[in-house]
Amino acid sequence: METAGERAGANRSFWERTVPKLWTTPLKQDITADVCVIGAGIAGVTTAYLVARDNRSVVLIDDGPVGGGMTGRTTAHLVNAIDDRYIDIENFLGEEYARLTAESHTAAIDCAEEIVREHKIECDFERVDGYLFLPPGGSVTELMEELEAIHRAGLVAVERVDSLPNTKIQSDAVLRFPRQAQFHPLKFLNGVAGAFIDSGGKIFTGTHAASVKDDDGVKIETAGGHAITAKAAVIATNCPINDRLVIHSKQAPYATYAICLRVTRPVEHALFWDTAETAADEDQEIGPVPYHYVRYARDEQGEVLIVGGEDHKTGQAEDCEQRFSKLERWARDRFPSLGGITDHWSGQVMEPVDGVAYIGRNPGDKQVYVVTGDSGNGITHGILGGKLITDLIAGRKNAWVKLYDPSRKTLKPRVLADYIAENANVAAQFRDYITPGSAKSVDGIRAGEGAVLRDGVKKIATYRDENGNLHAFSAICPHLGCIVRWDSCEKTWDCPCHGSRFDALGRVLNGPAISNLERAEIPG
C-alpha cells in the first residue's frame, strides 16, 4: 500500500510554506519497544517525547512526515480559553470538571513553554493576551455568566475590558484572557522530534499502521509487512484508526478554513475569538456554527494575520471558495492595514458531543490508548494528552483521568440531543447510495478535478489528473461504507460520516479509515 504524501490537502498552510517537514526513513524490519506511538502530530510527538523521558523505549511511526496531518494545518492558539464555554462544561460534567479543564489546558501551555525553554527550540513561542468578543446580536448577559463560570473554574485573572487592541471590532462586552500563547507548530514539532531522537527515541516516517491488536501486549502491523511489538500503544492519528464505532459515534468531524493576510504596519500580537457559535446556536439544526479565530504570525517578509472559521460538517458543503471569500471580507471589515492574501487552506477538527476530548485507555482495550476529540483546542489537548497518557502508562495517579475518559457517557439532555442529531446526520448520508452521481460522465470532469459517478448500482470516485489521465476508485469509504465526496479546494475525497479523508489518488489521509479507497474500473 502506498503511503500518504507531504501534507493532508492540496493547499499549503502558512506553516508548510515557511518550514520544511521532517522525514526520517520507513520501518524496514520487525522491532520491539516499550511503547509504540502511531501518528506524528502534536499529540503523538509530545506523547512520544514525554514517555521517553519517563525512561521507556519508544517508537513513533507516521505514514507521512512529522506534522503532515492537522498539526501542519492548524492556527496554533495555545489557550485555556477553550472553544466550548465553561458554563456548558459545568452544566454537562459539573463544576469540578470545569476546574480540571482549565487546569489541564493551562498546564499544557506551561508544558510547551518548558519544553521550548529546555531545548532552546526556536519556534516563535510567545505569551499573548486573548480576547473573547461578541458577534453582532451576541448576548452581554451570557458573556457575563460565562465570566462567572470562568472564575469558578479557577481562571480568576480573566477580566472584562472595554475594547480590543488594534482592531475595528465593536463589541458590547469583551473578556481578556492573560497568558495565552502561540507558536509556529512545525518549528515546535521538529524541535521536539529532534529532542526525542536525541534521547534515544526512534521515528519512522512513511510507515503506515495497517492493524493494531491488543492481546497480551500490543502488536502493530505496518503496510510494509513489518511488526512492532510493544507493551503499550498510543493511537495519536487525530481520528482513531483502531475503533469501529464507540468513539466515532460520540464525536463529529468539522471542516474549518484559514486565510493569511499580509499586515502592512507593526502590530502587537494577540489572539481574538468571537462567540458566534453560542450566539447562533439555536438557529442551527446540528452542531457548532461558523465562528472566527484570529492571530498574528511573522515570516521573512514581515507580519501576517491568520483568520480562521467558516466551519461545516466534513464532506457536507461544496462552496469552499466562497468560505475563503467570506473570511477575507470578515477580516478586512475588522482589522486595519491588511495587504494581500499570502496563504489559504483548510483542515478538520473532531468535535466531541460534550465539548471535552477523549484521552486515555481505548474502550475495551488494556494497553491501547487514544487521543482524539480535539475540537478547536487540539494543540493543548495533544500536549495535555501526552502528559496524561505518560502517567497512565506509568501507573501514576492523574486527576484528569475521569474528565477525559474515552469511555465516559454524558446523559445531560443537550448532550444527548446533540448525540442523536449527529448520528441521525450520519445515517442520512446513506441516501447517497440511491442518488445520482455529482457528474453524468467522465466527460464532465475537468483536469485536476474529481466527481462521484454512478455506474449501475455502484458509485465510482473518479479523478482526472493534470495530464488528463483518469483514476477511478470505489466511492465506498472503507470505514463503515458511506459514500465519499470530492473537495475541490483540497483535492481530496472526504467521507461525510466520521471524517475519513483520502487524497485524489485514493490514499487514506485521515482515520478512522485505515486503508485506501479500492481501485475500480473507469466508468464507461
Ligand X SMILES: Cc1cc2nc3c(=O)[nH]c(=O)nc-3n(C[C@H](O)[C@H](O)[C@H](O)COP(=O)(O)OP(=O)(O)OC[C@H]3O[C@@H](n4cnc5c(N)ncnc54)[C@H](O)[C@@H]3O)c2cc1C
Provide the binding-site residues for ligand FES, judged by CB under 6 A: 477, 479-482, 495, 497-500, 512-513
Q: Based on CB atoms, which residue is closest to ligand FES, 302 or 481?
A: 481
Q: Based on CB atoms, which residue is closest to ligand X, 167 or 222?
A: 222
Q: Based on CB atoms, which residue is closest to ligand X, 44 or 496?
A: 44
Q: Length of the chain in residues, anyone?
A: 524
**Smallest distance from ligand X to CB 337, Å:** 23
The entry of ligand X, ligand FES, none that residue 241 binds, CB within 5 to 8 Å by partner kind = ligand X
Cβ–Cβ < 8 Å for 243, 514: no
**Cell numbers for 35:** 511503547
Q: Strand 218-222 and strand 227-235: pairing?
A: antiparallel
Task: Kindly write out the interface string for residues 248-267 of this chain, putting x where it contacts ligand X by CB under 6 A and - elsewhere.
Answer: --------x-x---------
Burial class, 107, CB count within 10 angstroms (exposed 0-12 / middle 13-18 / buried 19+): middle
Q: Strand order of the sheet with strand 501-503?
A: 485-487, 492-494, 501-503, 508-510
Residue spans of alpha helices (H) in 94-130: 95-119
**Smallest distance from ligand FES to CB 477, Å:** 3
Is residue 73 within the footprint of ligand X (CB under 6 A)?
Answer: yes
Is residue 40 within the footprint of ligand X (CB under 6 A)?
Answer: yes
Q: How many contiguous H segments (helices) and E segments (strands) does the chain have?
A: 11, 24
The entry of ligand X, ligand FES, none that residue 4 binds, CB within 5 to 8 Å by partner kind = ligand X
Give, for 45, the enclosing helix (H) or strand (E).
Answer: helix 42-53
CA distances from 435 to 91, 428, 480, 481, 519 (A): 41, 12, 18, 15, 21
Q: Based on CB atoms, which residue is closest to ligand FES, 102 or 241?
A: 241
Burial class, 409, CB count within 10 angstroms (exposed 0-12 / middle 13-18 / buried 19+): exposed
Q: Based on CB atoms, which residue is closest to ligand X, 69 or 523?
A: 69
Which parts of 103-201 are beta strand (E)?
126-133, 159-161, 174-182
The entry of ligand FES, ligand X, none that residue 378 binds, CB within 5 to 8 Å by partner kind = ligand X
Task: Kindly write out the interface string for residues 347-366 of this chain, putting x where it contacts ligand X by CB under 6 A and - elsewhere.
Answer: xxx-----------------
The entry of ligand FES, ligand X, none that residue 143 binds, CB within 5 to 8 Å by partner kind = none
Q: Strand 31-38 and strand 227-235: pairing?
A: parallel
Cβ–Cβ < 8 Å for 293, 273: yes
Task: Kindly write out the interface string for residues 371-400 of this chain, putting x where it contacts ligand X by CB under 6 A and - elsewhere.
Answer: x--x-xxxxx-x------------------
Instruction: Pick the stretch among 71-79, 84-92, 125-133, 398-406 that binds ligand X (CB under 6 A).
Output: 71-79
Residue 512's nearest CA partner among 335, 247, 121, 314 is 247
Give, for 209, the enclosing helix (H) or strand (E).
Answer: strand 209-214
Residue spans of alpha helices (H) in 289-412: 320-334, 378-394, 401-404
Cβ–Cβ < 8 Å for 365, 407: no
Q: Based on CB atoms, which residue is closest to ligand FES, 99 or 498?
A: 498
The entry of ligand X, ligand FES, none that residue 512 binds, CB within 5 to 8 Å by partner kind = ligand FES
Q: Please, which of residues 465-504 interact with ligand X by CB under 6 A?
A: none
Is residue 237 within the footprint of ligand X (CB under 6 A)?
Answer: yes
Instruction: Name which position in 7, 9, 51, 69 contacts ligand X (CB under 6 A).
Output: 69
Instruction: Name which position in 15, 49, 68, 506 contacts ligand X (CB under 6 A).
Output: 68
**Smallest distance from ligand X to CB 465, Å:** 22
Residues with Cβ within 8 Å of 131's Cβ and at least 6 positions away in sequence, in order, are 161, 164, 165, 174, 175, 176, 177, 270, 271, 272, 273
**Smallest distance from ligand FES to CB 500, Å:** 4
Q: How many residues lie near ligand X (CB under 6 A)?
A: 44
Give, for 52, the enclosing helix (H) or strand (E).
Answer: helix 42-53
The entry of ligand FES, ligand X, none that residue 498 binds, CB within 5 to 8 Å by partner kind = ligand FES
CA distances from 44 to 60, 66, 373 (A): 7, 9, 14
Q: Please, which of residues 185-204 interact with ligand X by CB under 6 A?
A: none
**Smallest distance from ligand X to CB 428, Å:** 24
Instruction: Name which position in 70, 260, 388, 415 contacts ligand X (CB under 6 A).
Output: 70
Q: Based on CB atoms, which residue is closest to ligand X, 16 or 63?
A: 63
Cβ–Cβ < 8 Å for 169, 115: no
**Smallest distance from ligand FES to CB 163, Å:** 44
The entry of ligand FES, ligand X, none that residue 464 binds, CB within 5 to 8 Å by partner kind = none
Residue 220's nearest CA partner among 379, 61, 439 is 61
**Smallest distance from ligand FES to CB 426, Å:** 8
User: If you write DSSP's letter for every residue of 258-282 in order, what string do you get?
Assistant: EEEEEE-S-----EEEE-HHHHHGG
Is residue 41 within the footprint of ligand X (CB under 6 A)?
Answer: yes
**Contacting residues toward ligand X, per CB under 6 A:** 4, 38-44, 61-64, 68-71, 73-77, 208-209, 236-238, 241, 256, 258, 293, 308, 347-349, 371, 374, 376-380, 382, 511, 514
